[in-house]
Amino acid sequence: MITKQTRLLFAFLTALVLSACAGAPPFDAKAVAMEWAAFMQRDYVVRAGDRLAVRVDLPTTTTESGEQADNVQAVIVSPTGTIDLRRLPGPLQVAGKSVSDVRRLVLDAYKREFNEVRIAVQLTEAALQSVYVCGEVRDPGAIAFQPGMTLTQAVASAGSFDITVDHDDIRILRINPDGTQRTFRVNMEAVLQEEQPDFLLLPGDVVYCQTSAIADVGNWVELYIRRLLPFQLGGPAVGTIN
């Protein structure tokens, strides 16, 4: 006699197999590449933790002892997004501004104090930027972003896939500048077989590697059947892989 639990298990298994066969539709590789190129070409936006070199050429840049003062100031953007510069009355809010905007901000601040001034601002070291890989990988977590990093490289840095992963439907979550979210679906089998290009990541992207259909079945059986039985079954749980 087929029990209600057995019928539910068969229905669940059928749904999973059908969904797995569909796979992930190809993402718009051209649009992703254009977005990546636009990000790489834009003026860098300053963030907390960035290191800047600010060169300030004033009419007289001397110390109290009369020696020539060092007119290049090395500063770190504070957690609140500010920098402190010599001879200015207070900190300047620079986080969220491009490097060129920071230069204009510093120039205007010094012009309020001095008649003649020349300013140069350079990013010397960017704060750590990361992508995040989670789900069915061996070493999930944050990975330092490198310009040009692809999905395949990020997964490799996370120790590669677990055998329970669904290669056909990897998700990338991306937060837009306005705070909204987009999700991309990538078929890694198609990428590895050169049927579609690798996915170009941007800082802050979250890579979620889903479980395969057979792994989902094993987890479902473990949670809703095996653990509800009044006795202990021998051997490993159905579908589980160590």
Per the domain annotation, does 200 fall within a domain?
yes
Buried b (16+ CB within 10 A) or exposed e, 197-236: ebbbbbbebbbbbbbbbbbbbbebbeeebbeeeeeeeeee
Q: Judge if 89 and 148 occupy the same domain.
A: no
Q: How far apart, in whole angstroms, are the C-alpha atoms of residue 77 and residue 51?
A: 6
CATH value at residue 200: 3.10.560.10
Q: Judge if 72 and 116 occupy the same domain.
A: yes
Report residue 157's pLDDT band, with 50, 70 and 90 as the boundaries: very high
pLDDT in tens, 83-114: 999 999 999 999 989 999 999 999 999 999 88
Per the domain annotation, does 194 fall within a domain?
yes
Q: Judge if 134 and 117 occupy the same domain.
A: no
Per the domain annotation, does 186 fall within a domain?
yes
Per the domain annotation, does 242 fall within a domain?
no
H-helix or E-strand spanning residue 13: helix 4-22
pTM above 0.75, yes or no: no
Q: Judge if 171 and 108 occupy the same domain.
A: no
pLDDT in tens, 171-225: 999 988 777 889 999 999 999 898 889 999 999 999 999 886 665 555 555 555 5
Per the domain annotation, does 99 fall within a domain?
yes
Per the domain annotation, does 185 fall within a domain?
yes
Per the domain annotation, does 148 fall within a domain?
yes
Strand 130-135 to 206-211 pairing: parallel
The number of domains in the chain is 2
Q: Judge if 172 and 193 occupy the same domain.
A: yes
Q: Judge if 78 and 112 occupy the same domain.
A: yes
Q: What is the DSSP letter of 145?
A: -
pLDDT in tens, 103-152: 999 999 999 988 889 999 999 988 888 999 999 999 999 999 988 899 99
Residue 59: exposure state from Cβ atoms within 10 A (0-12, 13-18, ≥19): exposed
Question: Which of the two residues, 45 and 219, has the higher pLDDT score?
Answer: 45
- Which 3 state secondary structure label does DSSP give 92? strand
CA angle at 89 for the pair 83 and 57, rounded to the nearest 5°: 70
Residue 75: exposure state from Cβ atoms within 10 A (0-12, 13-18, ≥19): buried
Per the domain annotation, does 226 fall within a domain?
no
Q: How far apart, in whole angstroms, are the C-alpha atoms of residue 106 and residue 118?
A: 10
Q: Judge if 145 and 208 occupy the same domain.
A: yes
Task: Give the rounded percent of residues in the chain with a pLDDT score beyond 70.
Answer: 72
Q: Which domain holds residue 170?
A: 20-41+129-212
CATH value at residue 72: 3.30.1950.10
Q: Which residues, 6 or more positions from 210, have their beta carbon under 8 angstroms from its beta carbon?
A: 135, 136, 165, 166, 169, 170, 171
Give me the mean pLDDT over the 20-32 stretch: 71
Q: What is the DSSP letter of 227?
A: G
